[in-house]
Structures are given as structure tokens and as C-alpha cells.
Amino acid sequence: MLRQEKYGSHNYNKKNSDSIDQGDDEVLKPLWLTEKETIIRTLKACQGNRTVCAQILKISKGALYRRMEQYDISL
């Protein structure tokens, strides 16, 4: 069964504790949180190389920098 988590206002700087383990149920989370987690994982895999990260994510470097600022990501 799919469950949707409840979120009040969009706080892009929330910690990863927004995800709740609900046993065998799949947890749905907002797209912005999934995007933030993906950017962080990719940056770590690229050892902070933003050019390579943007290429892997298939976005421009400018878009990557805007999202990093939006989500308060600094690696």
C-alpha cells in the first residue's frame, strides 16, 4: 500500500528525517526531497565535481548551481 507523507509548508532545507519507515509500505515523498537527495548522492559520487555531476544528471551547470542554492547544498 502506498502512503503519502504530510508536509506543511515547503521547507527545502529539511533534514532527511522527513522519510518515515512504515514497514513494508512504500513511502511517498515530495519531488523536491527526492531531487535534493539525488543531487547530494551524485555530488558525493563525483567527489564534488559539479561539471561531471551536471552531466550525469543531464542538467546544465547553471541549473545545478541554482538547485544547490535552493536546497542549501554545499559540498
Residue 14: how many other CB atoms lie within 10 Å: 14
Domain for residue 35, yes or no?
A: no
Q: Which residues neighbour 19 within 8 Å (Cβ) at sequence distance 6 or greater?
A: 5, 27, 29, 33
Give the model's pLDDT for residue 7: 47
Residue 67 belongs to a domain: yes
Confirm whether 71 is domain-assigned.
Answer: yes
> What are the helix (H) ranges across 1-75?
31-45, 50-57, 61-70
26 located within any domain:
no
pLDDT at residue number 2: 47
Q: Which domain holds residue 59?
A: 49-75
Which stretches of the chain score pLDDT less than 70? 1-25
- What pLDDT was estimated at residue 75? 80
Q: Flag whether 13 is in a domain.
A: no
Residue 16 lies in a domain: no
In a domain? residue 1: no
Count: domains in the chain = 1
Q: Has residue 58 been placed in a domain?
A: yes
